[in-house]
Amino acid sequence: MQDGTSLGIRPLKARSVVLSALLGFHPPLLPVRALIRIGQLFGITEGTIRVVLTRMVADGDVVADNGAYRLSGRLLERQARQDESSSPHTRRWRGMWDMAIVTAPPRTLPDRVALRRSMAAFRLAELREGVWLRPANLVRERPATVDAQCTFFESRPEVDALDLARSLWDLDTWALKAGRLLAALDEATDLAEGFTVTAAVLRHLQDDPILPPELLPDDWPASDLRADYLRFNANYRLRLRDYSEA
């Protein structure tokens, strides 16, 4: 397998292992024994997993449920965004762009940070401070954080759409990493490799701007990456469940 650094894969800590494991299953519910077994793939002890689970319950990230743990709150929203990024809902693009302008009164720093995160998840890019936009080709609900701080417009910029898209998103860098992840999916054989690679693919797909075909290079690899990930993950999750229940 390729060097993990080039793929943006960092050594997984206990919390990341628990979170990634739960995010990968539907419903996001696993017995504590299964989470301990998955932790062992990365040399994480049972005691460490149990301490992390206790902390995650206290933080409201997971809920203890009769000897098992399930995701709650904002992490369920994260799983929904993760699912959407692997199977996005699009519509035919007719040349219009969604534009959001910050119209809320002066905001606190946490409000501004929350908006920036929501805009990234909503796949809008910042043209300048307080002005965000993207092609109007996605079908999804706007986060409450966005509606509370912005007013939306439908617009048609008086500049070349291809040039505008390339100024807002680094498509070449995204495509380069996608190619590396495609190779990593082909090369991943053991359970630990599969775990880290699938997590890296999902993170990368959440950075895909999901532009209409008219604004993408001919060899844009996003569809191939999604298809290969879905094929790989269907088999991998069965293997991981069998291992965790052994």
Beta-sheet pairing, 97-102 with 125-128: unpaired
Domain membership of residue 84 (yes or no) is: no
Domain that holds residue 189: 170-237
Is the model's pLDDT at 9 over the cut of 80?
Answer: no
48-81: pLDDT as tens digits? 999 999 999 999 999 998 999 999 988 888 898 8
Per cent of the chain over pLDDT 70 is 96
Q: What is the CATH number of the domain that holds 231?
A: 1.20.58.1460
Q: In the prediction, which pLDDT does 12 show? A: 85
Domain closes at, from 132, 155, 178: 155
Is the model's pLDDT at 5 over the cut of 60?
Answer: no
Is the model's pLDDT at 28 over the cut of 90?
Answer: yes
Positive/negative CA dihedral, 56, 61, 65, 68: negative
Domain membership of residue 181 (yes or no) is: yes
204-239: pLDDT as tens digits? 999 999 999 999 999 999 999 999 999 999 999 999
User: Which H or E run includes 218?
Assistant: none
Please tell me whether residues 130 and 176 are part of one structural domain. no
CA-to-CA distance for 30 and 67, rounded, in angstroms?
9
Domain membership of residue 146 (yes or no) is: yes
Q: In the prediction, which pLDDT does 125 show? A: 96
161-208: pLDDT as tens digits? 999 999 999 999 999 999 999 999 999 999 999 999 999 999 999 999
The whole-model pTM stands at 0.89
Beta-sheet pairing, 97-102 with 68-71: unpaired
As a three-state string, the secondary structure of 163-204 is: HHHHHHCCHHHHHHHHHHHHHHHHHCCCHHHHHHHHHHHHHH
Q: In the prediction, which pLDDT does 70 show? A: 95
